[in-house]
Structure 1
Amino acid sequence: MLKYLFVLLSIFSIHAHAAPIRIASDIWCPYICDNQTGYVVELTRRAFEIQGQPVEFQIFPYKRALIELQRNNIDAVLALTSSAIVENQLINADVIVGYNSNDFYTLVDSNETFEQITDLNNTQQAAIVTGYHYGVELDAWFGAHPNTYFASGRDPLAMNIIRLVKGRHSVIIDNKNVIEYTASQLNLTQQLRYAGTIGKPVPLYVGFNPHNKAYAVTFTNGIEMLKANGEYQQIMSKYKILPALTSDEARHKNLQKFLPIFN
């Protein structure tokens, strides 16, 4: 009994002094938000914390997050497609944390619809986020049309929405939940219109640094533990009603900083 107690105490001591796992992503609310909120952030944090592993989150633009991971400055990047994980030679824990879709939004007075890629041929200018993958065919279309606008920075989708409202673009492409959440924080929801979706939803995963394969295993185990104790469903249920609860003043004020740029 004393031997087993010593082993348990040793394990506890190791976890208590464990260096935090460094996880990064750009802002993609309601999946990944400021102030360490968003359902993917909460699930990931709790998956590690429930096993005694501290977590440190950082907000980086998408492309920089991948660069910092390649430099071993961070250990994981949230919400990646399987193709992005393979392309960057990362470890996939094979736990789906959400789905991405290519949803198209225009201004309310537009009558454009988007159901297939050829529908883009008649639009004035499309705006996307630099570094993201929208599928082979859409990526090829964006690359072949120099008038495509690639937004970057800390909150590129917010800038695309504002530029759309200001008449700089005719359509923006991103995930429907993310567009509607960000537009609500900018008080611009009533000016946007859902114009269609091209392609099927794509699963999203957490991509781990190949030098720390054990973190992927820990994450998988943690998610199973959260499902077993009910926390997983609690977090998911909390964010299902996110639009009714999102009065995050810090997020709102941060997005308002973009507005003077376009006045």
Structure 2
Amino acid sequence: MTVNGLAGSSCRLVLIQLKTLLAGAVLSILALAVHPAKADIVRIAVGEWPPYFSESDEGYGTYAKVVAKAFELEGLTVEYGFFPWKRALLEAQSGRWQASAGWGKTAEREPFFHFCDAVLVEREQFFYSSDRPVNAQNVQDLSGLSLGALDGAALGEDLDKLVTADQITVYRQSSLADLFKMLDVGRVDVVMGNGEVAADALADAFSPEETARFKSLENVNVLWDYRVIVSRNIESGEELCTRFNQGLRKLRDTGEYDRLLWPERDGEGQSQASPS
């Protein structure tokens, strides 16, 4: 075969290869059109806070289910990571994880996070042991006492004033169960915690007879709204909040919010989420 013949054969071979590559590219594009790309993933750092968040629970807890479903309705898939609460906040703040959940809105956190609509609005209660009764009608009456609180948890404006004035001593632990153990032996005078979470913690750490020793102050509480917070260190933070809020509204409208958050009430519970 001549040199010209070899060159012609090479050109034809190159053209065939190019046609094959182009055909493959077209088929790939068509396949993507028929089979959309996997939904975007939202990575959320949280901690143990049963029944709302728990790594050992199906769906990771009732609050976790609400958040995952709200994002799912907007085409997003949630991936949870469990950490000590203080670290969960830092992971989200840095943007290593896009978001965290179950946090109240405070002036200290606002520079670092976008705050989505509240998933839950409840009162933080103050618990004491009947072996060492506490008489208080308001937060100011807690002056001079020692308080147990969760790591990373905000205390509220009134308690912050007592802390600043050195009128109350705060001890932190990573779980309410550990705080109640401190209360049981007199290492703290009162423990601050969510009522649902406290009931779960007491049931895990104490017998029913022992649990009966712990009481809550009837007139002293702090109202908190618990939100999904999204890092300001990621580009899509504000958009993620908008999409979550849209999904959450859909859950409320259909009644699925109550079924997910309060399964023991069999759909009869009243939504305690913020109306906003």
Which residue is 1:190 aligned to? 212
Q: Give the total of aligned pairs.
A: 229
- Shift of the 232–12 alpha-carbon distance from structure 1 to 2, 3 Å rule, reads farther
In the alignment, residue 212 of structure 2 is paired with which amino acid? Q
Determine whether 1:151 maps to 2:151. no
Distance 1:101 1:201 in 2: 4
Name the amino acid aligned to 2:227.
Answer: Y
Conservation of the 8 A alpha-carbon contact between 1:96 and 1:204: yes
How far apart are 1:44 and its partner, in Å? 0.4
Give the structure with the larger helix fraction. Answer: 1
Match of 2:10 in 1: none
Deviations 1:204-240 (A, max 9, x none): 2111123222221221222233234442232134054
Q: Does 1:176 pair with 2:198? A: no
| SS state at 1:34 partner | coil
Aligned equivalents of 1:110 and 1:37: distance in 2? 36
Give the greater-gyration-radius structure (CA).
2
Decide whether aligned partners of structure 1 residues 152 and 200 sit closer, same or farther in structure 2, where only a CA change above 3 A counts.
Answer: closer
CA distance in 2, matches of 1:229, 1:104: 34
> Counterparts in 2 of 1:48-197, with a 5 A limit?
48-83=71-106, 86-93=109-116, 95-123=117-145, 125-145=146-166, 148-153=169-174, 156-187=175-206, 188-197=210-219
Determine helix, strand or coil for the equivalent of 1:23.
Answer: strand
Q: Give structure 1 stretches of 5+ with no counterpart.
A: 1-5, 242-263
Say which SS state the counterpart of residue 95 (structure 2) adopts: coil
CA change 1:237–1:117 in 2 (3 A) is closer
- Match of 1:54, SS state, is strand
Structure 2 residue aligned with 1:226: 251
State the SS of the aligned residue for 1:220: helix
Deviations along 1:67-108, one digit per CA (max 9) or x if unpaired, are 112221111111222226753431122x22112433111112
Partner Cα distance (2:259, 2:170) in 1: 38
Change (3 A) 1:70 1:96: closer
The structure whose residues are more often strand, as a share, is: 2
The structure 2 residue matched to 1:201, chosen from 205, 223, 229, is: 223
Query: For the aligned residues, what is the CA RMSD?
Result: 2.8
Compute the TM-score of the two structures, normalised by the length of structure 2. 0.72
In structure 1, the residue corresponding to 2:250 is in which secondary structure?
helix
Q: In 2 relative to 1, CA 11–119 (structure 1 residues): closer, same or farther, beyond 3 Å?
A: farther
Q: Distance in 2 between matches of 1:50 and 1:12?
A: 19
Deviations 1:22-46 (A, max 9, x none): 1112222222223343321110011
TM-score normalised to structure 1 length:
0.75
Bigger Cα displacement from structure 2, 190-199 vs 58-67: 190-199
- Aligned-residue sequence identity (percent) comes to 23
Helix, strand or coil for the counterpart of 2:217? strand
Structure 1 outlier segments of 4+, above 6 Å: none
How many Å separate the matches in 2 of 1:99 and 1:43?
14
The question of whether the paired residues in 1 share the 8 Å contact of 2:121 and 2:224 is answered with: yes
Match of 2:220, as an amino acid? Answer: I
What is the aligned counterpart of 1:40 among 55, 63, 67? Answer: 63
The one-character-per-residue Cα deviations of 1:109-128 (angstroms, maximum 9, x if unpaired) are 333133223322353x2212
- Matching residue's letter, 1:175: N
